[in-house]
Amino acid sequence: MDIKDVENLAELAKLDLTEEEKNKLLSDVKEILDYVKVIESVNALDTETVYTIHNVWREDELKHPLFSRNLIINQFPDSQDGYLKVKKIL
Amino acid sequence: MIDLKNLTIEKAHEMMQKKKLTSVELVSACLKNIQEKNKELNIFLEIFDDALEQAKKADEIIKSGKGTKLTGIPIAIKDNMLITGRKTSSASKMLENYTASYDAFVIKKLKEVGAVLIGRTNMDEFAMGSSTENSVYGPVKNPIDPTRVPGGSSGGSAAAVAADMALGALGSDTGSSIRQPASLCGVVGMKPTYGVVSRFGITAMASSLDQVGPIAKTSKDAKIIFDCISGKDEMDSTSVNFLDFKVSPNKKAIGVPRDFLKEGVDPEVLKNFEESLEKLKKIGYAVKDIKMPSLEYSLPVYYIIMPAEVSTNLARLDGMRYGLRKDGIDMFDTFKKSRSAGFGPETRRRMILGAYVLSHGYYDAYYNKAWKLRHVIEKEFASVFKDVDFVVIPTAPTPAFKFGDKKSPLDMYLCDIFTTPANIAGLPAISVPSGFSIKGLPFGFQFNGPIFSDEAVFEIGKKFEEIRDMV
């Protein structure tokens, strides 16, 4: 892992990092990866990756919403006429 | 004058039933305590202004004869659980001004029985940490010794109970966050079986590991809170109807994975652990050494799966619909500026780490492999539970440490070594106080039970409390 990797990951995680932060993160993450990579040595070939999950279905019925529309709208960092306002996308 | 130190939920309930105590009196005593000590200890981020109002209503419910065990009992709430109309910040700048638009399932349950929500407690930012030093509001001080950490991430909730500011508290536990602070503060903390308590309305950290649970002075009190908050919730599809699955082991055997206790454990912790085992033997438990070779991989597996889930869960915090927004030149720049201004160092570290283990080229080596090992660990537990009722481990490798003691992130992560197995395998586990170090710092003894044996876990906790003072 090098500083370029940290920059790419920061791009994926949508974070702006200072040079100092990048260097600190690089050494921290290296230390953590050194520790967790002990799992590489374990033989788990015969273990299937079974995600112990299953679908939970429900009827597609309209239910009375639990949420207060006003409380939600009041959280909008920027709004106009009850609509959420965001920056230009394209 | 109410003797808060020796007052349990059980006792307070009895006294209220017999009209020897009112909720208003009890809540007033807690509030007085909070006013006197909170400035120094930094346990509560907010004391709810309607606490006495809630207490008055609870007294009316009790008068009408409809009171249940938690009616009128002051409960502290971790700052990552939504309460309609109240701030829920997860001790982060990102959500500093976020006001909840609905009640978490567990909050709804507490409100239904007339429990008094007394305030929201300090924690590590987004529940990431083992000392509360990651809170944007500054750390909580351990009431037993204010020069030391209370543990984390539910450090405020554990300290609130230890400092008699509430009779019980809710915490959330992803890798240690209920049990480790309970241990460091000398109170009881219990992580239920995954799915037994709904996660609806809890700020998500790592969804396959997160679980809400009680912190209290005794196992009986913790059980009272658990009984109130557990149950199937249609808003959390991973929640189950606990009553359909209950398991009560009764072989009276306890397993000790000795190989797991060899490294990095404080000798005083080990000595206390051995003494506790002797006491369990005296009341008829067979204590067996067991081999669990995969247990040592729990922490590495945890520090792969958890950050992966963190990086995806926290992606929703982009400054668009709620939370902190810092305007940039366009949408992506606004995401970046908002997230960079809102998240603290530990949260960033875990998002970067999570993005790494999930990225193309590393996914198989880390994330996929970690899931395989997760199954190996689950299977190993299932197999030892054929022979023993509980697997016991100390809750934490050391008693409460000093602020700034853990120099690197990895040093801090190692605090979770004995608590992550229960999250990885989805098991119920309880930490019960088991004595004090020479310096007077509390130890915790941890029982891990099979999936859905939550009631048995409370039961053994209760028994352990009865015998722990034996010489």
CA distance B131 to B148: 9
Distance CA B176, CA B151 (A): 9
Q: What is the pLDDT of residue A46?
A: 64
Q: Which chain B positions have a beta carbon within 8 Å of A84's beta carbon?
A: 320-321
Identify the band that residue A36 occupies on the pLDDT scale cut at 50, 70 and 90.
very high
- What is chain A's Cα-based Rg? 23
CA distance B456 to B449: 8
pLDDT-derived band at A49, boundaries 50, 70, 90 = low
Residue B179 CA to chain centroid, in angstroms? 6
Listed by number, the residues of chain B in 230-259 with a beta carbon closer than 8 Å to a beta carbon of chain A are 234-235, 237-238
**Average pLDDT for B135-145:** 98
* Pick from B429, B390, B59: nearest CA to B254: B390
The rounded distance, in Å, linking the Cα atoms of B432 and B458 is: 10
pLDDT digits (tens, 9 = 90+) for B186-200: 999 999 999 999 999
B116-121: strand order across its sheet: B44-47, B116-121, B74-78, B168-173, B211-216, B188-191, B429-436, B442-448, B390-394, B253-256, B286-289
Domain residue ranges of chain B, discontinuous segments joined by +: 1-471
Q: Does the pLDDT value for residue A51 go beyond 70?
A: no
| Beta-carbon separation of B340 and A33 below 8 A | no
Whether A65 shows a pLDDT value over 90: the answer reads no
Compare all CA atoms of chain B with the CA of A43 and give the residue at the minimum distance.
Answer: B373
pLDDT tens digits, B188-247: 999 999 999 999 999 999 999 999 999 999 999 999 999 999 999 999 999 999 888 888
Tell me the chain A residues in contact with residue B359 when contact means C-beta distances shorter than 8 Å: 9, 12
Query: What was the pLDDT predicted at B264?
Result: 87
ipTM: 0.92
Find the CB nearest B373 among A13, A42, A66: A42
- Mean pLDDT over all residues of chain A? 87
Q: Which residues of B are catalytic?
A: 78, 153, 177
Q: Which two tokens stand for residue B168?
A: 């019980």
State the nearest Cα–Cα gap between A2 and chain B, in angstroms.
Answer: 12
Which pLDDT tens digit goes with each residue over B293-319? 999 999 999 999 999 999 999 999 999
Q: Which CATH class is domain B1-471?
A: alpha beta
| pLDDT tens digits, B66-110 | 999 999 999 999 999 999 999 999 999 999 999 999 999 999 999
Q: Which residue has the tokens 């309930």?
A: B13
* A68 to chain B: closest CA residue: B101
In this structure, the strands spanning B74-78 and B116-121 are parallel
From residue B142, give the alpha-carbon distance in Å to each of A23, B45, B158, B411: 33, 15, 9, 20
Closest-CA residue of chain A to B357: A33
Number of CB pairs, chain A paired with chain B, less than 8 A apart: 154
- Percent of chain A exceeding pLDDT 70 equals 89
Q: How far is A27 from chain B (nearest CA, A)?
A: 10
At residue A89 the predicted structure's pLDDT band, cuts being 50, 70 and 90, is confident
Tell me the percentage of chain B whose pLDDT exceeds 70.
100
